[in-house]
Amino acid sequence: MRYKKKNSWLPSIIIALLIISLPPAFMYIKSLSDSDNVEEVRKKMKKHLYEKYGEEFVVDRIGTQTADGDTDYVARIYPKSIVGTIKEGDPYYYAKAGADKEPFGGVGAVGDGYEIVQLNIEAEKYLMQKAKQIFGNRIKLKTDVKYEKRKEGNDYFSWQLVTGFKELLNKANTDPENHRIQLELYLYIFDRIDNEEEKEKRRNQIFDFVQYLKDEGLFEYLEMRIVIVDERVLADSYDDFKWEIEDTYKVRKYIEDEDVTVKLPPMELRKQMSRQLQKEASGMSEEELLKNMQKISKSELNYKEIGKWNGQYLSRIYSPGIIKERYTSTYNQNSDIVRYFENIDDVGLAPILNYVYE
């Protein structure tokens, strides 16, 4: 019997795009047992990753993925260097690799999506110095960067899996007709606002940071969320209260200024939590607070983990370009929502209504 060799010519970039972007409804993933060529898959993927990135990777959760009748090997990958650090176990630093499954289980061309992780790390490093200069040291960043290119003869941009943030930014700035960067940026500031003067100070800082992003050429396709977080989340015993406020019954509270009702933990628990964590945080040095802040993983920087109870204020920044690109119907129906952030009045800082501290 003759077998057709499946996709041996398939470029590794196509494999990588397939494994990271295909909707679950169109694929089936099956775990492999030790007898199903697992070690051969692992060996070939590790060799590919070392040659490409110059460091050793962990390759685990090896299985097969079937899509449109074709089957490929897939695996989770992450650098061995993050083992034993806060990054281990954080999906932000994990990616996937894929390889052709050839006749009789052979392992063909390998591709990977680690460029996504690497590009985000590069972008964070690029932005962090200026962010600290403006907002101070109690900040954490999380980025989602997409570099897109218009290929010759096309009238559309396509997502490219590449690294080298500085070089890509230079291309986007010098040839915006054919290169662009979409930047989704989350900035968490662990320092609560105590009065209107401090609130205005934060608004001015946000405005200054947006001007910096404009100067760098990163405003054109920008979506940014800046969250002011109560620093009491950095107290050592916060985790004890975290589970208690999640598990306890909730009380309805009507917020007149917003004309909305929210559900919060009972006031007695909120006051107890506020007093005890304030006492702890006040007794901690800046170094201790920063050390605890660094223990917060990237995957915790979201509404459910950090923002829901501890977030105090939120500022959303949408550039005109990103509104047109991602929220076309909204833009067409109400173009007045577009802000160019040419003055401080365009910077909003809204209260987060589930804020629990008293």
Same domain, 217 and 323: yes
Does 18 have pLDDT greater than 60? Answer: no
Burial of 100 (C-beta count, 10 Å sphere; 0-12/13-18/19+): buried
Domain assignment of residue 315, yes or no: yes
Same domain, 133 and 97: no
Which tokens belong to 171? 């291309």
Residue at a domain's end among 112, 134, 161: 112
Same domain, 178 and 319: yes
Domain assignment of residue 358, yes or no: no
Same domain, 59 and 170: no
CB 296 within 8 A of CB 92: no
Same domain, 231 and 160: yes
Interval 55-64 mean pLDDT: 95
**Looking at residue 37, which CATH number applies to its domain?**
3.10.450
Same domain, 95 and 228: no
Q: What secondary structure letter does DSSP report for 6? A: P
Distance CA 38, CA 138 (A): 44
CB 232 within 8 A of CB 357: yes
Same domain, 212 and 334: yes
Query: How many CA atoms, within 13 angstroms, populate the side-chain half-sphere of residue 280?
Result: 18
Residue 69 confidence (pLDDT): 77
CB 79 within 8 A of CB 90: no
Which tokens belong to 231? 């620093």
Same domain, 94 and 180: no
CB 169 within 8 A of CB 218: yes
Residue 189 confidence (pLDDT): 98
Q: Vertex 318, ends 172 and 300: CA angle to 5°?
A: 95
Name the band, by pLDDT with cuts 50, 70 and 90, for residue 31: low
Domain assignment of residue 154, yes or no: yes
- 230 φ, ψ to 5°? -65, 125
CA 212 to chain centre: 21
Does 57 have pLDDT greater than 60? Answer: yes
pLDDT tens digits, 122-172: 999 999 999 999 999 999 999 999 999 999 888 899 999 999 999 999 999
pTM assigned to the model: 0.88
Same domain, 292 and 145: yes
Which tokens belong to 283? 């007794």
pLDDT tens digits, 277-297: 999 999 999 999 999 999 999
Domain assignment of residue 246, yes or no: yes
Q: What residues make up the domain containing 182?
A: 117-351
Domain assignment of residue 357, yes or no: no
One-letter identity of residue 272: Q
Domain assignment of residue 3, yes or no: no
Name the band, by pLDDT with cuts 50, 70 and 90, for residue 9: very low
Residue at a domain's end among 64, 86, 112: 112
What DSSP element (H or E) covers 133? helix 114-135
Same domain, 107 and 125: no
Q: Domain count of the chain?
A: 2
CB 317 within 8 A of CB 341: yes
Does 22 have pLDDT greater than 50? Answer: no
Domain assignment of residue 58, yes or no: yes
CB 223 within 8 A of CB 322: yes
Same domain, 241 and 122: yes
Interval 337-341 mean pLDDT: 90
Domain assignment of residue 235, yes or no: yes
Residue at a domain's end among 80, 112, 144: 112
Same domain, 102 and 152: no
pLDDT tens digits, 263-281: 999 999 999 999 999 999 9
